[in-house]
Structure 1
Amino acid sequence: MKLGRLNHIGIATPSIQDSIAYYRDVMGATEIHEPFDMPSNGVKVCFVDTPGENGTTGTQIELIEPLGADSPIHGFLAKNPSGGQHHMCYEVPDIHVARAEFEAMGKRVLGDTRIGAHGTLVFFLLPRDMNGILTEIMETPKAGAGH
């Protein structure tokens, strides 16, 4: 498995609006997308762009807030009431090949491969198998797609 581009860092937050204010007012972020609901994943999402080279977008920050009582983020926020880093997400060219390679290495996948916030297929790897970090693997978005 070859390490792909770091697409985003997921930050769980009890309030997306408070986190938007933090990234805008304290960190100076100027590219903040509109928040949107992802009922299928139980979260509200907002992407904050960081600057990349030559005017491109660098690594994004994905703010995630629980959406509804069944949100998987509730457990994280119960342990970390102020929020914090939830996961790191890396791109791969082929999600199915990547999943097979991780599983062949004995890495445990959490749940099914599904559509993520960028509109591409994703899966998550168990933190115990990934140096203590919940790791999201996503198929590289097609040009002009997603957030």
Structure 2
Amino acid sequence: MARALRAAAAGAAGLFSRLHVPLGTVRAVSMSQARHPMAGPVWNLGRLNHVAVAVPDLEKATAFYKNVLGAQVSEVVPLPEHGVSVVFVSLENTKVELLHPLGSNSPIAGFLKKNEAGGMHHICIEVDNINEAVMDLKKQKIRTLTEEAKTGAHGKPVIFLHPKDCGGVLVELEQA
């Protein structure tokens, strides 16, 4: 029984250990003290900042959230360095980011070619130290889509983690 629990804990501590399973949980599941305790993280995950949805018609999507659901929505914010225009839908506990292509080289244009009706594009999670997070994740062989963080829609550094290393989900990290 203890061997099976240790094997399960070792599997859980794999690829998603930083993103999904806190170290303390793994130790509790293992039912034994680690022989070589790991140092604590030099960065921490924060709250879910937003869920991003690519939309083929930004006006129509904005009107749906504002007029049908009654949500507060921001003005359109063009982000030429990311090739998108965004609208933020404020919710009590997070935001929905509506993404629309800006320019012909927009990564969202490619996404919408594959998903004509639009759909979930990425999730954004805050971190308390984006530089330490990026260095640590790269050591763990988690790929990023750019070498360095860029300034995001909130004026803070952001970086995207490769979806193939994150269970098929494009994950954006944002400095809290």
**TM-score, reference length from structure 2:** 0.73
Q: Give 1:81's aligned residue.
A: 116
Q: CA deviation at 1:123?
A: 0.3
Hey, what does 1:9 align to over in structure 2?
51
The one-letter code matched in structure 2 to 1:139 is Q
> How far, CA to CA, are the matches of 2:165 and 2:45 in structure 1?
15
Aligned to 1:98: 133
1:51-104 Cα distance to aligned partner (Å, 9 max, x none)? 1xxxxxx21111110001011111110110111100000001111001011111
Residue 50 of structure 1 aligns with which residue? 91
Greater helix percent: which structure? 2
Matched residue SS, 1:117: coil
Output one character per residue of 1:96-130: Cα deviation in whole Å (capped at 9) or x when no partner. Answer: 00101111111001013100001000000010100
Gaps of 5+ in 1: 52-57, 141-147
Q: Indicate conservation of the 8 Å contact 2:45/2:128, yes or no.
A: no
Q: Which runs of 4+ in 1 moved over 3 A?
A: none
User: In the aligned structure 1, how far is the partner of 2:112 from the partner of 2:63?
Assistant: 19
SS in 2 for 1:62: strand
| Residue number among 55, 60, 63 corresponding to 1:21 in the alignment | 63
**Displacement of 1:14:** 1.1
Which residue, out of 116, 135, 146, partners 2:152? Answer: 116
SS in 1 for 2:46: coil
Shift of 1:28: 2.4
- In 2, Cα distance between equivalents of 1:95 and 1:10: 20
Q: 5+ residue gaps in structure 2?
A: 1-17, 19-43
Instruction: Kindly indicate whether the alpha-carbon contact (under 8 Å) linking 2:84 and 2:99 is maintained by their aligned counterparts in 1.
Output: yes
Q: Tell me which residue corresponds to 1:127.
A: 163
What TM-score comes out, normalization by structure 1 length?
0.86
Equivalent residue pairs, number:
133
Query: What secondary structure, in the 3-state scheme, does the structure 1 residue paired with 2:123 have?
Result: strand
| Amino acid aligned to 2:101 | P
Q: Distance in 2 between matches of 1:134 and 1:97?
A: 20
Helix, strand or coil at the partner of 1:41: coil
Give the equivalent residue in structure 2 for 1:41.
Answer: 82
The structure with the larger Rg is 2
